[in-house]
A and B are shown apart, each in its own frame.
Chain A
């Protein structure tokens, strides 16, 4: 993976291109971008956006929802070949999980498959506006429909992007609870294993088996043992949520362990490696009724 790109470019007027997706979304995006002084241009469709992007150096492009997933990826590829560092957020109504992975591999900033929450889109646009270096944040190391391996830079905006890509897949066997657990474990890995140091990376695998979904996160740190966290929320009795606070304060620590506590409650199994810098989340999936004997 490349070193992080420089973020020392002088402040200047930033420009965004928004492809028409419907009045509500268009107005929302124009409002979010304008609130931070960005200049917003509009395209009638993605083809129009491609034409404009080859002549104008936009910093951020939000595609229109009306395209097929593979066409979005093709537009992304062509725009990034002309403008390598443009932040491109894909909105789409029709897609496959393979399209989401292809978009990630081709360097999309984010991916929103309908139906999506407009406020989440607005937040991601704000993340994109505030992220001067991002295009080396997520690297697809390998990908099959059943097993995707990634490396992700240790910073919060990269975690946000990764979580949104996972949401974009819209796998009915990966409900919000699992995504929430993944996010907590990922942020723990980035914070405690990588010190939120953007030169460090975590390694992630998503595995989709017939009867389970699993996610492995390996951080660059030295690991830990749950015994070391005996004063954290995860190791306290369930009816004594506040009990750990005084113990941790006496040791100069803020209340903690809630991320692991949440993850533990939201998946079926949580397994650590001996060193403690790798964790595996497992959620079992009910087989389709047709497969039940």
Chain B
């Protein structure tokens, strides 16, 4: 399945529900990048990527997640991830991504973490 992205809002946190894969193959990672850049251009600074239905990620997807997170932090915002699993979680573990980007299993907890000072401890 190629990438499908749904966007919803919870207070000042923008949640992106990702379904499918974020790889270079069919331009899926490019699509994700385009959505993220548009959101940031419109003022979004707190992004939560819901990865529960993301089945694959490769280096292109990783680069976009890392680049977006770094960009947001420079602007006083942050990016966090929700429920990575399967191959996606394996890839994150291989590159130790979860040491740099907080990950949560519970959406309410993830949303609350944006309101607390500093980074909440990863719950993964």
Q: How far is the CA of A258 from the CA of B91 in the complex (A)?
A: 10
Contact with A along B7-51 (1 / 0, CB 8 A): 000000000000000001110000000000000000000000000
Identify A255's interface contact among B1, B25, B63, CB under 8 A: B63
Are B100 and A242 in contact, with the CB atoms below 8 A? yes
Q: Is B2 at the interface (CB under 8 A from chain A)?
A: yes
- How many Å lie between the Cα of A60 and that of B71 in the bound state? 44
Shortest beta-carbon distance from A260 to chain B in Å? 8
Kindly identify which residue among A122, A156, A245, A262 contacts B94, using a CB–CB cutoff of 8 Å: A262
Q: Interface residues of A, CB < 8 Å — how many?
A: 30
Task: Mark interface residues in B82-122 (1 if CB within 8 Å of A CB, else 0).
Answer: 00000100010011110110000000000000000000000
A265 x B95 contact (CB < 8 A):
yes
What residue in chain B is nearest A160 (Cβ atoms)?
B25
The answer to whether A44 has its CB under 8 Å from any CB of chain B is: no
In the complex the two chains form, is B59's CB within 8 Å of A242's CB?
Answer: no
Known: A241-B95, A241-B97, A242-B70. A256 touches B63 (CB 8 A): yes
Residue of A nearest to B61 (CB): A258
Residue of B nearest to A234 (CB): B95
Cα separation A261 to B95 with both chains bound (whole Å): 7
- Nearest CB on B from A184, distance (A): 6
Instruction: Give the CA-CA distance A238 to B94 in the complex, in Å.
Output: 10
- Say how far B33's CB is from chain A's closest CB, in angstroms: 9
Interface presence of A105 (CB below 8 A): no
* Minimum C-beta distance from B39 to chain A (A): 18
Task: Judge whether A41 is part of the interface by a CB distance below 8 angstroms.
Answer: no
Which residues of the other chain, A, contact B26 by a CB distance below 8 angstroms? Answer: 123, 126-127
Instruction: Please determine whether B94 and A123 come into contact, CB atoms closer than 8 angstroms.
Output: no
B63 touches A183 (CB 8 A): no
* Complex Cα spacing A254 to B62, Å: 11
Does B69 count as interface, using CB distance less than 8 angstroms?
yes
Decide if B94 touches A187 in the complex (CB within 8 Å): no
Complex: how many Å from CA A261 to CA B70? 18
Check B24–A156 contact: CB distance below 8 A. yes
CA distance A258 to B59 in the complex (A): 5
Q: Are B67 and A156 touching (Cβ within 8 A)? A: no
- Cβ–Cβ contact B69 & A242, under 8 A: yes
Q: Residue B67 contacts which of A176, A187, A245, A261 (CB distance < 8 angstroms)? A: A245
What chain A residues lie within 8 Å of B100 (beta carbons)?
A: 240-242
Knowing A122-B1, A241-B97, the reply to whether A259 touches B59 (Cβ < 8 A) is yes
Closest partner residue, chain A, to B58 (CB atom): A184
* Residue in B24, B63, B87, B96 whose CB lies within 8 Å of A254: B63
Residues on the A chain within 8 Å of B69, using CB: 242
Using known A-B contacts A242-B70, A245-B70, determine if residue A258 contacts B24 with beta carbons closer than 8 Å. no
Q: How far is the CB of B18 from chain A (nearest CB, A)?
A: 15
The complex places the Cα of A259 from the Cα of B74 at a distance, in Å, of: 25
Q: Write the A98-128 contact mask toward B (1 if CB under 8 angstroms, else 0).
A: 0000000000000000000001001100110
Interfacial chain A residues near B96, Cβ < 8 Å:
238-239, 241
4 additional contacts (CB under 8 A) given A122-B1, A176-B87, A255-B67: A123-B1, A156-B25, A245-B66, A262-B58
User: 9 closest pairs, A vs B, by CB?
Assistant: A258-B59, A259-B59, A245-B70, A255-B67, A255-B63, A241-B100, A258-B62, A265-B94, A242-B70
Which of B's residues lie within 8 Å of A, judged by CB? 1-2, 24-26, 55, 58-59, 62-64, 66-67, 69-71, 73-74, 87, 91, 94-97, 99-100
